[in-house]
Amino acid sequence: MLHKLFGGTGKTSIRGGYGIYYDHFGQAITNTFDRNGSFGLTTTISNPAGNQDVDTSARFSDLFTIPASSAQTTSSCAVPPCSIIAPPPSGSFPVTPPTDAFAITWGLDDKLKTPYSHVIDFSITRELPRGFVVEASYVGRMAHRLLQEEDLAMPLDIVDPQSKMDYFGAATLLAKANEAGTDINNLAPIPYWENLVPAAARQPAPSLNFGFKSTCAPGTYPTNPTATQAMYDIYSCFLHNETTALFAFDLFCLPACSTLPGQSGPQPFNFFDPQWSSLYAWRSVGNSAYHGAQFSLRHAMTHGLQFDLNYTFSKSIDVGSNAERINQFEGGGFASQIINSWSPKQLRAVSDFDTRHQINTNWVYELPVGHARAYGSGMSGWENALVGGWQLSGLLRWSSGLPFTIGPGLGFWGTNWELTSAAILNGPRPTTGTFTVNGNPNMFKDPATAIKSFRYSEPGESGQRNELRGPGIFGIDLGIGKSWKITESQAVKFSWEVFNATNSVRFDAAGSANNNGQISNSTSFGNYSQTLSQKRVMQFALRYSF
């Protein structure tokens, strides 16, 4: 029985392989530096506004020459002609950035290493009767030293040597107290603030808290506050944006600067670096892992039919999925930066492109009608030219859902300067898919309930990346064609191809979540704003070959 089903000996092959592959990298980074530079490589110069008028402004002499001067005088040019282009700065190399610029810029780790991967594959192939072949495979790829952007100037997570508490823990206690609406007069002292910011104690109510109202904490500001209460007030002005509160007290001593062990008194820039507020750099700190089981059934062209049917069960995990051409300042690269440089693996999760299940198939079928076919072999020439020799072809692809991330919105810098942590699921996992809510396609069955399942990240947290799944990919492409032979060396071929033949729509949850997947936006929370699929397109072709 098995011999009849699976054939005899010599029909099975077993293959396996292992290799270490080193990536070619650096070209995209070079292109980005070429466009934007880094500190000392480019300088942006702008002309003062309002210096030119209709009568004295520069005149174009031809289509190709940019005017360099005009009759308009300026504060630095009393006698025309005056230059309308600001003079370039003097250059030097190497350039040493100012030690107190508090700049936001980016660069490269001087210890970058070539990324590499361990690749493993193993497969068993069996030839079956009637032209069928079945194959089962395992494919694994474990990558190391992948490029990730990391903020080298992230504020320090200073630990109090007396209480053994770190900054993130102390800031989280203040955030949770504010979330609970704790009255400032009922807030117990937190040793971290009492030990490291003693100068904040007994500070009077501020007249203005860094652009906010005089006091922000719930309750009436106490007459003689503890250091904890004074810090609670400034941090209450920046709930879920605690890095800005840190900026206020570490740079401007609001309500007071910290005093670290060994320092004689309060000093600024104990947490922040005075040279850089953010210094994003590519580093060789990423890694990823892909494991997949692949199954295929193939049928060679016999009896007018050829097809492949493939199924993949896989999982891909990484720290960030962005390519090196997508960075902090180009291409919307805010998806994959490391948020917490002191805990860089916090965002390790399934990859942005991970699809647990995939099915795809392709086929070619020659209709059995016409000369030398099962039906109509005795047709006349004009009948065969009309209905004989047609060929059908198609492609089908289906996948399970792609992952997406829920965010808090813009300006929530709880952990690091200028970087927004993702939201965290702390309630029932909401049902996701494609639903109609108030006349709009929505990724949640009940968005009003779904938004309550998430909370803002606390200081030190990066949030949960790719925690939910949206729609996957589905599409069917069909084609029909026929050839007419004119002479031995000439032929005409007609084809009609339909892409997305069913005109199916699959929405892009990950792309839509950038705008409508923010828990600070309850009005349109979960609404889809873009699609994975394209509308149905048909194309017709007539080809003459000779």
Check pLDDT > 90 for residue 373. Answer: no
From the list 419, 406, 413, the residue with the least C-alpha distance to 454 is 406
Cα–Cα distance, 255 to 26 (Å, whole number): 46
pLDDT at 74: 60
Whole-number average pLDDT of the chain: 89
Q: Does residue 69 surpass a pLDDT of 80?
A: no
pLDDT score for 334: 53
Q: How confident is the model at residue 187 (pLDDT cuts 50, 70, 90)?
A: very high
Give residue-wise pLDDT tens across range 404-459: 999 999 889 999 998 899 999 999 999 999 999 999 999 999 999 999 999 999 99
Please check the confidence at residue 372 and state whether its pLDDT lies above 90.
Answer: no
Output the DSSP codes for 318-329: ES----TT-BTT
Which residue, 206, 200, 197, is CA-closest to 225? 200
Contact 516, 407 (CB under 8 A): no
pLDDT score of 8: 58
Residue type, 425: L
pLDDT tens-digit series, residues 241-281 = 999 999 999 999 999 999 999 999 999 999 999 999 998 88
Mean pLDDT of 321-341: 74
pLDDT band at 91 (very low <50, low <70, confident <90, very high): low
Q: What is the mean pLDDT of residues 298-305?
A: 90
Q: Is the pLDDT of residue 38 over 80?
A: no
pLDDT of residue 49: 63
Q: Which of 42-46, 306-310, 327-331 has the lowest mean pLDDT?
A: 327-331
Contact in structure between 227 and 160 (CB atoms under 8 Å): no
pLDDT confidence bin for 40, thresholds 50/70/90: low
DSSP code of 171?
Answer: H
pLDDT at 401 over 70: yes
Q: What is the pLDDT of residue 399?
A: 97
> Per residue in 94-118, pLDDT tens?
777 788 888 888 888 889 999 999 9
Token output for 17: 């392989």
Q: In which residue are the tokens 């997947």 written?
A: 517
The answer to whether residue 78 scores a pLDDT higher than 90 is: no
